[in-house]
Structure formats: C-alpha cells, structure tokens
Amino acid sequence: MIHCEGLVKIYKTDDIEVVALQGLNISVAKGEMMAIIGNSGSGKSTLLNILGGLDRPSAGQVRVGEWNLLKVTDDELVQYKRKTVGFIWQNNARNLVPYLTALENVEMPMMLSGKYDRAYAKQLLEWVGLGHRLGNRLQQLSGGEQQRVAIAISLANRPELLLADEPTGSVDTKTSDMIMDIFRRLNKELGVTIVIVTHDLALASKVDRVVAIRDGMTSTEFIKRNPNLDEAGGGKIHDVHEEYVVLDKVGRLQIPKAYLQSLGIDGKASMEFDGEKIIIRTPKSLEEA
Ligand SMILES: Nc1ncnc2c1ncn2[C@@H]1O[C@H](COP(=O)(O)OP(=O)(O)OP(=O)(O)O)[C@@H](O)[C@H]1O
Ligand SMILES: [Mg+2]
C-alpha cells in the first residue's frame, strides 16, 4: 500500500533549512494496521502529511497504491486526497467545525466529494459509538467524543488508507482503548490499511507492527514485527537499514562524519565516477604520503 524509499523533506523558512526527513524507508502492506513512534520533532507528522497528500516531498520515492506522490500534479493530488486517504489530524480542531452537529460534520466532506449519503454518515457515527449524539453541536461534545467524530469524518470518503496523527494524544486511557478498538474493527471488517502516529509505546500491543523514526531520520527500525507480514513479504520488508544522505538541488551532499573519520578524509576528498558509482576516497596524494 505504501512504499517510501530515501524519502526526504526539507522545510525552507527564510534562510534556514530544516531537514525533517532524511532518507526515510518504510513499507506498509495493504490491510496492515501499524504504528509509527518517535520523539517530538522526529518527523512523524511530516511523514504523515506527505502520505496524506497535504505536503510535498523534497526528494526520494513515495508511492501509495497506484499513486506516485513525488510526481503527481496538483489536480491529481486533490483526487488522491478525496478518493484514497482519510486523515485524522494531531489537532482535531482541523477536522471539525464547532458550530455544526456531529452528523453535519460527517456529511460535509461527503458533499465536497460528491458522495453525499446520510445513512452512511449516521452509520459511521454509530460505529464510533455516537449514535445518540448525532444532533449535538461539536462544542457540546467532550474531547474524546470529538475525537471519535473526527474518526467518523476521516472515513466519510470510504478511504483505503487511514492516517491518524496522535489520535489518542489528548484522551484518557479508556477513550484511547476505545479508539484503538474502533481502528481494529475498521481494519478487520472494512480492510482499511491504518497508520497511526503516536509517542505512546503502550499502543504497540494493539497494532500489528511498530516502526520507530529516530531523530536523525536516516532510517527506520522495527520494534515489533508482524510475523504474518514477514512471511508474506518473503522477508523483503524487514531489515531494510540502508543509510541515505540528502542531496540538495545544486548537488551538495552530507557525508556522515564517522565515514570521513574512518577514512581520514579531512577538507579534501578525491572523487571518481566509473559510469555506475561515484567513489569518494582519501586523495591519492595523501595516501602515498
Ligand atoms: N512547516 C514547517 N516549517 C519548518 N519546519 C517544520 C515545519 N513543520 C515541521 N518542521 C520541523 O520539522 C521537524 C519535524 O517535525 P514534525 O512535526 O514532523 O515532528 P513530529 O515527529 O510530528 O513531532 P511531535 O511528536 O512533536 O508532533 C521539526 O524539527 C520541526 O520543527
Ligand atoms: Mg507531530
């Protein structure tokens, strides 16, 4: 369902460049329910925003189903967002309109995508346990209830892929368990592929697989594996631990310090292109000396 290789995202603000993703690799199988964990600032939301078509990658490969998100046009991206993904934001105020009722909130994205279906909107709210709250305005609902409305909204377009950024971040354990149970049901009964970003390791027991993004974002590390997936993938998915470097538009790249130190490269390196590879090494004059 998802395949990212060497994914890079650089935010540019004024003169400062923030490398939020530095060559990230991740694959998610169709029908999987998995979690991405990592410290604050490690790039979790950045990754999710790219997968959700809300932001563009800077470099690398990123495919979701049939879509190549590096190459899609703006129009295609709009189609992608409407058809393929459901998104639950870290701050759910972005999903919700406070002065509309729960039901109206779910119906709105349906109207936008031209698939208005009141019965389905009601059904979704029943799914998340809010069948008795259809007519309540959002501001009359608790935080946990609002979060469940946000889940119902994210499903309004019948997405194949559900992306949830810290969906349980601001609710108590009981509500958090309830939300995870809803995700599991969606995953099992509707076959929705689900990616949940969290910094809560306790959620690990509730998903098929957990992947950690580390601060450098150079690689992903598998904390928990889905044994079925390992078999199905023929061992292809795990143990991907290749390191990438960022190559900017003018061709500059950053070589990890450890590599340079171990070769004794300092200030100057020799570079060779053999038609296939670029070889960077200690300058010959230094080697001989
Ligand atoms: N629009 C932006 N412009 C500039 N820098 C940004 C932007 N969005 C994120 N960043 C930076 O990119 C890095 C990754 O941010 P991101 O929001 O992806 O982290 P996160 O893992 O979701 O953190 P948290 O757990 O706190 O939500 C951070 O250093 C952040 O400051
Ligand atoms: Mg975040």
| Contact yes or no for 20/192 (Cβ under 8 A) | no
Please state the atom number of ligand 1 nearest to the C-alpha of residue 90.
27
Cα–Cα dist 152/145, whole Å: 11
**Taking the CA of residue 251 as centre, how many other CA atoms within 13 Å lie in the half-sphere pointing to its CB?**
1
Per the model's pLDDT, the better-predicted residue between 157 and 200 turns out to be 157
Domain locations along the chain: 29-48+79-248, 255-289
Q: What is the pTM of this model?
A: 0.77
pLDDT of residue 234: 41
- For residue 287 the two structure tokens come to 């080697």
Cα torsion at 229, 165, 205, 157 (round to 10°)? -60
Name residue, tokens 């935010």: 11
Q: What are the tens digits of pLDDT across the range 19-63?
A: 889 888 889 999 999 999 887 888 899 999 999 999 999 999 999
Question: Where does 29-48+79-248 sit in CATH, by number?
Answer: 3.40.50.300
| Contact yes or no for 131/125 (Cβ under 8 A) | yes
112 has pLDDT over 90: no
| Contact yes or no for 193/28 (Cβ under 8 A) | yes
Q: How confident is the model at residue 67 (pLDDT cuts 50, 70, 90)?
A: very high
5 has pLDDT over 80: yes
pLDDT of residue 28: 93
Between strands 33-37 and 209-213, the pairing is parallel
Pocket test for ligand 1, best of 22, 42, 94 (most atoms within 8 A of CB): 42
pLDDT of residue 103: 97
pLDDT of residue 230: 46
Calculate mean pLDDT across residues 210-227.
59
Q: Ligand 1 in contact with 9 (CB < 6 A)?
A: no
pLDDT of residue 225: 56
pLDDT of residue 219: 45
Average pLDDT along the chain: 83
Residue 49 Cα, ligand 1 centroid: separation in angstroms?
11
Q: Calculate the alpha carbon distances from 46 to 4, 42, 105, 239, 274 in Å.
A: 13, 9, 26, 23, 36
Name residue, tokens 């604050």: 40
| Contact yes or no for 83/157 (Cβ under 8 A) | yes
| Contact yes or no for 148/129 (Cβ under 8 A) | yes
pLDDT of residue 13: 81
Residue 9 Cα, ligand 2 centroid: separation in angstroms?
14
Question: How many CB atoms lie under 10 A from the CB of residue 173?
Answer: 10
273 has which bridge partners?
278
Among the residue ranges 22-36, 133-147, 235-249, the one predicted with the least confidence is: 235-249
257 has pLDDT over 50: yes
pLDDT of residue 137: 95
143 has pLDDT over 70: yes
Per the model's pLDDT, the better-predicted residue between 220 and 166 turns out to be 166
| Contact yes or no for 271/280 (Cβ under 8 A) | yes
**Residue-wise burial string across 275-289, b where 16 or more C-beta atoms lie within 10 A, e elsewhere:** eeeeeeeeeeeeeee
